[in-house]
Amino acid sequence: MGRWILGVLVGIGAGYYTLRSVSVGDVTDSLSEVSLLHIAGTFLVMCSAYYFRLHRWKILLYPMKQVPLSGLISPLAIGLMGNILPGRTGELLKGFLLSRKHNVPFTGGMATVVAERLCDLTVILLLCFWVFRFALPADLVSDVYPELPLRDVLLRFSEFGLAAAVILVLLVVLSTTQRAASLRIVNSLGRFLPTRWVDITNDAVGHVAEGFGAFAKPRDVLLIVMDSLLLWGITIVSFAPLYWAFDLQEKTLVSLIVVRVMISVFITVLPTPAFLGSFSAGAIVALRDVMGEGVVAAAGFGVLVWALNTLLVFGAGLLMVILEGSPFRDLWWRSTQSEASRQSTTGEMAE
């Protein structure tokens, strides 16, 4: 609970820091001028991107089990909704729901979730490197924070991140192609452990290797790359209608990429509950400090894209909870039945 409260306070602080130079009234007036057509267009395009997220997860699961797209909707939607918790706990929830719904080993399911995040991270870092290395001017300086070398900071961030991503990808590939070697290492390290723990570890290593198994097949790798590029391409373009809604000056693909990259950077560095403050701050900094847009338009844009993203994530998650009765209701029912059974047994023994 303490971490959740801390996350909320950090989110409020991030929101205040980026919005302190604009009045609430100006932002409200800016939002009131946005047409429902622009909002609906953005929301529908955002929704369409999730098809490719589902399809990519299906490909990643192939080595363990062939799961239909419809069977992945509830684990994905409820898991994303679970990201209201600090530390993106919803990712663990996705693995748990997948394991429970489709009888997939939890460690293998979590390996596919990690692979998803690795794909997303790699795409975002590549975009960040390209846009700040080649697409934007070398002398880029923020009008709001002129002392901050914004371009250099983000360029170094992307270079370090890409190096780490390459290492992680190599480890993933090695875990699938050199499974026997991985098991030998585990067995050598487990000489001082009880046999039961060694067996559990071996099973976990095997399941993780299966979870990363799609990376051992060139065809699956190609499909994963295509899904990732389409997913992020649509996600980036989904903001385009709002550029006309707020009459932004730079209606370019570079600006759209900068906004999406900065949002991803902020929600990664500041993983606040429901991305409160961090999501909007990323959009505002991108438009105001990098692209030189007006502060009121940037603030209104940031608030609106956060609201639409939150509506999509929580709306889809709650709908799946209602339609499928999902794990929360099932677990509650089982716990109440277990408690009733325990009390009944206790009563019979007392008699």
pLDDT digits (tens, 9 = 90+) for 278-322: 898 899 989 988 888 999 999 999 999 999 999 999 999 989 888
Q: What is the pLDDT, as a whole number, of residue 271?
A: 78
Which positions ≥6 away from 246 have C-beta within 8 Å? 30, 34, 297, 300, 301
Rounded to an integer, what distance in angstroms lies between the CA atom of residue 197 and that of residue 174? Answer: 23
Coil, helix or strand at residue 20: coil
Q: What is the pLDDT, as a whole number, of residue 338?
A: 46
Rounded to an integer, what distance in angstroms lies between the CA atom of residue 158 and that of residue 131? Answer: 10
Q: Can you list the residues of the chain whose pLDDT is less than 70?
A: 1-20, 84-88, 138-149, 175, 177-207, 325-351
Q: What is the pLDDT, as a whole number, of residue 350?
A: 46
* Relative orientation angle of helices 327-350 and 90-102, to the nearest 10 degrees: 70
Quick check: is 346 in a domain?
no
CA 148 vs CA 257, 266, 284: distances in Å: 21, 16, 16
Handedness of CA 84, 87, 88, 93 (dihedral sign): negative
Quick check: is 351 in a domain?
no
Quick check: is 91 in a domain?
yes
Quick check: is 347 in a domain?
no
Q: What is the pLDDT, as a whole number, of residue 90?
A: 81
CB 142 within 8 A of CB 171: no
Nearest alpha-carbon partner for 68 in 102, 97, 100: 102
Q: What is the pLDDT, as a whole number, of residue 147?
A: 58
Rounded to an integer, what distance in angstroms lies between the CA atom of residue 112 and that of residue 126? Answer: 21
Q: What is the pLDDT, as a whole number, of residue 213?
A: 85
Quick check: is 55 in a domain?
yes
Q: What is the pLDDT, as a whole number, of residue 341?
A: 54
Quick check: is 350 in a domain?
no
Rounded to 10 degrees, what is the CA torsion of 169, 173, 179, 185? -40
In SS3 terms, 100-165 reads as HHHCCCHHHHHHHHHHHHHHHHHHHHHHHHHHHHHHCCCCCCCCCCCCCCHHHHHHHHHHHHHHHH
Count of domains in the chain? 1
Q: What are phi and psi of 184, to 5 degrees?
A: -65, -40
pLDDT digits (tens, 9 = 90+) for 154-187: 888 888 988 888 888 777 777 676 655 555 555 5
Rounded to an integer, what distance in angstroms lies between the CA atom of residue 65 and that of residue 98? Answer: 11
The position carrying tokens 């699956």 is 220
The position carrying tokens 């992307």 is 158
Nearest alpha-carbon partner for 235 in 263, 196, 276: 263
Q: Which residues form the domain of 70?
A: 2-341
Quick check: is 112 in a domain?
yes
Q: What is the pLDDT, as a whole number, of residue 154?
A: 81
Quick check: is 31 in a domain?
yes
CB 89 within 8 A of CB 82: yes
